[in-house]
Chains A and B, each alone.
Chain A
Amino acid sequence: MQRHACEPRPDWRERVERIGLSYHSHETGPYWDESACYEFTASEVDELEGAARDLHSLCIEAAEAVIRNNWWDRLAIPPAAVPSILNSWERDDFSIYGRFDLAYDGTSPPKLLEYNADTPTALVEAAVAQWFWLQDTRPRADQFNSIHERLIDAWRRWNGRSIHFSSIKEHAEDEQTVLYLRDTCVQAGVETRSVSVEDIGWDPRRRCFIDLDNVRIENCFKLYPWEWLWREEFAVHLPSEPVRMLEPAWKMLLSNKGLLPILWEIFPDHPNLLPAYEGAERLGACYVAKPKLSREGANIARIEGGVVVEESEGGYGAEGRVYQALAAIPSFEGNHPVCGVWIVDHEPAGLGIREDCRLITSNLSRFVPHFFQKSEQP
């Protein structure tokens, strides 16, 4: 695993905008950053892929343990949500995607930092933008990236006839993410409609959710966290399950950092897991404290020698925290990459790298493309 400095394509902004990455820059600098890239060996890619496959299986087993032992409190899951989670688990409701964030340095086994299993973003960047970057800059190289094809295949396997796609208003990244997913769904031959989360209506006569044309929402991909849905006004209608959501309700078990101590409890010393507990005591003076439901690196604190050395802001934490051993996140001239391995329809499908000068990856962390050299053909 190496980091290379690169010369960005002269017209990189126009190029990434053309494929939907309109949110390529922050006020403080680029978000899409092709002034650098990461190179992997084929065996390193295999290792990341294998780790993600194993971790997904472990998470499914851990979720089963939560259900079997009624560990709802350990995940701060509201009691009202439990029957829906159980129903969706029993039905094996379809899941389209998720993303593991892994600490990896190319030498030691990848370590799970968290599983973004409900509302992962950085999808357009990983599936499309870096693929076109590869074609433009290194057409002979390869990339751990079959996200696009896997998504289309997954929608084909999904047995629904039509689906609504929903995100919050006036948020370019979310709108583009959902638009891209909708495009893959259309390519699979599924009928699609869109409705903003805020515009979803409730028809009391038909007892169903509806869009702005009063069309019933039977299936809905929502880029909106489950735990937020359950605390809002329309949550009163969710127990009757008038709509099948994607991601399904059972993903609340996997997208929750409360699962990290459970994973460690069930699979102690697994090479892809970091020690994690519900209290900090067993980790000594060095650890990371994570709210169970935080997103985009919010409210994460890094403690070294018993002192908080890095902490991110946010509005999470009331739901409780978990404590995880420090991961060996590598430093490439002060840049710390985190490997996001995408899972599509339960299988590893690609890689996206976010890097930061800080050790806590946040919503401002840069997306940096990657490649690996194709194996020699015999």
Chain B
Amino acid sequence: MRISSQCVYVNDYFVPGAGYYHAPFRRFYPFAYNHFDPRLKMYFFGGQWGFSPFQSPINISSPTEDAAKLAEASRTDIVRGGFGSTSGGFSTWS
């Protein structure tokens, strides 16, 4: 399905080419939410590194319109099912 600001996504929802969704920040990033880098000994969240994991009650959210557009433009996976929804599978034509 197309990435949309009208839909909600959970933390670490992954879209090839766009990355991992970080719900508190409403954007996609190249690393998973609170990804730990043992070399840096730091955690990644919302496009930055911190010494401790980011704490947030938000685990699900919708991306901003810009973030959804950017994710859609950068995704590299094949998307299917973008046509056919109006028919409901039962209509005949004319």
Write the residues of chain A forming the contact surface with B, with a CB cutoff of 8 angstroms: 99, 114, 116, 118-121, 168-171, 173-174, 196-205, 210, 214, 223-225, 228-229, 231-234, 236-237, 255, 295-296, 363
Contacts and interface: CB of A to CB of B under 8 A. Distances in A.
B86 A233 contact: no
Identify which of B2, B17, B82 gathers the most chain A CB atoms within 10 Å of its CB: B82
B38 interface: no
Assign chain B's interface to a size class: 20 to 34
Given A233-B1, A295-B94, A168 B82 contact: no
A231 B84 CA distance: 10
Contacts of A202: 78-80, 82
Contacts of B84: 168-169, 196-198, 200, 224, 232
B93 A223 contact: yes
B77 interface: yes
A233 B4 CA distance: 10
B83 interface: yes
B78 A201 contact: yes
19 contacts: A99-B94, A118-B94, A119-B93, A120-B93, A168-B89, A169-B89, A200-B84, A201-B79, A201-B80, A202-B82, A204-B73, A204-B76, A210-B78, A233-B83, A234-B2, A234-B82, A255-B94, A295-B92, A296-B92
B77 to A, nearest CB: 7
The dominant DSSP class at the A interface is loop
Interface of B: 1-2, 17, 72-73, 75-87, 89-94
B80 A121 contact: no
A236 B93 contact: no
Given A205-B76, A224-B87, A121 B93 contact: yes
A200 B77 CA distance: 14
